[in-house]
A and B are shown apart, each in its own frame.
Chain A
Amino acid sequence: GAGVSQSPSNKVTEKGKDVELRCDPISGHTALYWYRQRLGQGLEFLIYFQGNSAPDKSGLPSDRFSAERTGESVSTLTIQRTQQEDSAVYLCASSLEGSNQPQHFGDGTRLSIL
Chain B
Amino acid sequence: AQSVTQLDSHVSVSEGTPVLLRCNYSSSYSPSLFWYVQHPNKGLQLLLKYTSAATLVKGINGFEAEFKKSETSFHLTKPSAHMSDAAEYFCVVTRGTSYGKLTFGQGTILTVHP
Q: Do A and B bind each other?
A: yes
Cross-chain contact A97 with B90 (CB below 8 angstroms): no
A45 → chain B, closest Cβ, in Å?
Answer: 6
For A, the interface residue count at a CB cutoff of 8 angstroms equals: 29
Cross-chain contact B43 with A43 (CB below 8 angstroms): no
Cross-chain contact A103 with B100 (CB below 8 angstroms): yes
**A15–B101 alpha-carbon span in the complex (Å):** 30
B87 → chain A, closest Cβ, in Å?
Answer: 14
Cross-chain contact A103 with B99 (CB below 8 angstroms): no
B37 → chain A, closest Cβ, in Å?
Answer: 11
Asked, given contacts A102-B49, A105-B44, A106-B43, whether A43 binds B90 with beta carbons under 8 Å apart, the answer is yes
A87 on interface, CB distance cutoff 8 Å = no
Cross-chain contact A101 with B100 (CB below 8 angstroms): yes
A28 on interface, CB distance cutoff 8 Å = no
- Note all chain B residues with C-beta closer than 8 A to A79: none
Contact residues of B between 44 and 64, Cβ < 8 Å to A: 44-46, 49, 51
**A98–B96 alpha-carbon span in the complex (Å):** 9
- Note all chain B residues with C-beta closer than 8 A to A20: none
B34 on interface, CB distance cutoff 8 Å = yes
